Amino acid sequence: MKLSKVTNILLAFAILISSQLACQTLIAPTPSALPPKVTEAAPTSADTPAAPTDDEIKAGIQRSLDLYAEAYTNNKPDVLDQVIDSENKPFYRIVRNRFDEFQKSYLAGQIEFEYVVVDITKREYGFVIAHIEGGNGLNAADWPFRQLGGNWVLSEPTVKQAGEPVRTETDHFIFTTYPWADNVNQKIMDMMETARSDVEKILGKAPEEKANVKIMPIYGLSPFNPMNAIALYMSEQGPIKNIIEVYTPFSYVYGTYDPAFGWDGELQTTLTHEYTHMVHARVFDKAGRLSSWMSEGLAEYVSSSNNDKIYYACNAMRSGTFIPILDETGAVFKQDLMHLTMLTENVGLAYNYSQSLVKFTVDNYGGLDGFWKLAGSLDKTSDFRKAVQDAFGIPYDEYNEKWLKWLKAQC
């Protein structure tokens, strides 16, 4: 599963602001393909209010974004409520959930949010996609808004508006796409092929079986999906195997992105992350299955070639927010990397720590072979302390101390 940037990019956002990097060229929103049966509302009667001009729309969306930023900065859920489409229930839930998760994280209260509407693209059903910048141009987003009760609220199309699903089968994938996202569907399908070959290059193999990839423009299509994810892999669901679900750009669910990489640059990383999960499951028999850091850390390691996110783990550790490999405090719900998916907070940061641990292991204990050896020992012993001893011939405490020392030097 790949987490939304609500936790991850904000971390980047906070740190990058202080390093004052220059703003990069932004990816402009592409004109959207129209789904069928669209009728233009063009009332001309003198008593009908004139349609708002682009400037009026931008001003209205800006007002909503100011409230959204205020809500995030000062933890004001009631202010947030004013700018979410309350008629779209699954959508409302995901916006609130991401807000609540952020307010629980160690970054809450530390960031002053600001968003600026750069331009807008009109879509069907009264939607307007706003291209937004934040953090002095270091953060970007393309979010849909619609008018509700005189305000422009954050929203997404309904399942019906997203359109009828379309099935496309290729050599390695069976894609399901929706007409709403026809401006990006083909590009994402091509990027999925790139993801497959990138993973194959690093891990040495890729399965012949096809992945079922669902390219989803709205959260409402799977309203019970984890709300902090922008993509996920399921090894099976009922009779269907190897399902990858990914949210498309130009949606709120997709979150924000670093304009230096563009939405497509970040999405490529996400697709590679998910396909790594599939290779891990189908080619490597999900080795290390007892430890969630091995799975997520591997997916992060394979998908981000420069491992830049390890910097954030280093930085967080230095400022006192640390997540250990093993929580040995005797807590019932262990707060450690072995149980990454069950953490009550800072899950995004746990991904960064996990990635650092994979890279540390690969770099210091015999490359990826060393990593697979450790994973295999864990499967055999069901005890991470024993697994380290078994795989590397050193005590866990020594491995752990070396990792901490190594990590401290990464920022």
Considering only 299, 317, 391, 407, the residue that binds Zn ion (CB under 5 A) is 299
Least distance to Zn ion from the beta carbon of 232, Å?
A: 7
Residue 34 C-beta-side C-alpha neighbours within 13 Å: 10
Q: Which stretch binds Zn ion (CB under 5 A): 1-9, 29-37, 256-264, 364-372?
A: 1-9
Which of 158, 229, 217, 218 minimizes the C-alpha distance to 183? 217
Q: Determine the residue with CB nearest Zn ion.
A: 1
DSSP annotation of 338 reads G
Least distance to Zn ion from the beta carbon of 277, Å?
A: 6
Q: Who's near 375: CB < 8 A, 6+ residues apart?
A: 284, 287, 288, 291, 294
Q: Which stretch binds Zn ion (CB under 5 A): 183-191, 222-230, 258-266, 291-299?
A: 291-299
Residue 198 or 296 with smaller CB distance to Zn ion: 296
Least distance to Zn ion from the beta carbon of 359, Å?
A: 16
* Helices and strands counted in the chain (H then E): 13, 10
Least distance to Zn ion from the beta carbon of 274, Å?
A: 7
Considering only 1, 181, 213, 229, the residue that binds Zn ion (CB under 5 A) is 1
CA separation, residue 54 to residues 59, 63, 106 (Å): 9, 14, 38
Query: Which of the residues 50 through 109 are near Zn ion (CB under 5 A)?
Result: none
Binding footprint of Zn ion, residue count (CB under 5 A): 3
Angstrom distance (rounded) from CA 266 to CA 141? 12
Least distance to Zn ion from the beta carbon of 348, Å?
A: 12
Angstrom distance (rounded) from CA 297 to CA 352? 8
- The verdict on 340 binding Zn ion (CB under 5 A) reads no
What DSSP element (H or E) covers 294?
Answer: helix 292-303
Residue 368 or 404 with smaller CB distance to Zn ion: 368
Residue 132 or 246 with smaller CB distance to Zn ion: 246
Residue 107 or 299 with smaller CB distance to Zn ion: 299
DSSP annotation of 276 reads H
Residue 158 C-beta-side C-alpha neighbours within 13 Å: 8
Least distance to Zn ion from the beta carbon of 317, Å?
A: 22
- The verdict on 281 binding Zn ion (CB under 5 A) reads no
Residue 156 or 274 with smaller CB distance to Zn ion: 274
Residue 35 or 297 with smaller CB distance to Zn ion: 297
Least distance to Zn ion from the beta carbon of 214, Å?
A: 16
Least distance to Zn ion from the beta carbon of 216, Å?
A: 16
Angstrom distance (rounded) from CA 291 to CA 326? 10
Residue 1 or 391 with smaller CB distance to Zn ion: 1
- The verdict on 343 binding Zn ion (CB under 5 A) reads no
Q: Who's near 150: CB < 8 A, 6+ residues apart?
A: none
Amino acid at position 263, single letter? W
Answer whether 70's CB lies under 8 Å from 79's CB: yes
Q: Which stretch binds Zn ion (CB under 5 A): 64-72, 170-178, 237-245, 297-305?
A: 297-305
Q: Which stretch binds Zn ion (CB under 5 A): 133-141, 153-161, 296-304, 369-377?
A: 296-304
Angstrom distance (rounded) from CA 306 to CA 325? 23
Which of 130, 69, 131 minimizes the C-alpha distance to 102? 69
DSSP annotation of 51 reads P
Angstrom distance (rounded) from CA 140 to CA 255? 9
Angstrom distance (rounded) from CA 305 to CA 51? 48
Residue 197 or 341 with smaller CB distance to Zn ion: 341
Query: Which of the residues 169 through 188 are near Zn ion (CB under 5 A)?
Result: none
Q: Which stretch binds Zn ion (CB under 5 A): 198-206, 222-230, 292-300, 319-327?
A: 292-300
Across 290-360, the runs of DSSP E, i.e. the strands, are none
Classified as helix, coil or strand, 56 is helix
Residue 254 or 399 with smaller CB distance to Zn ion: 254
Residue 101 or 296 with smaller CB distance to Zn ion: 296
Helices 262-282, 185-203: inter-axial angle, 10-degree rounding: 50
Residue 64 or 303 with smaller CB distance to Zn ion: 303
Least distance to Zn ion from the beta carbon of 130, Å?
A: 29
Least distance to Zn ion from the beta carbon of 152, Å?
A: 34
Amino acid at position 337, single letter? L
Residues that bind Zn ion (CB under 5 A): 1, 296, 299
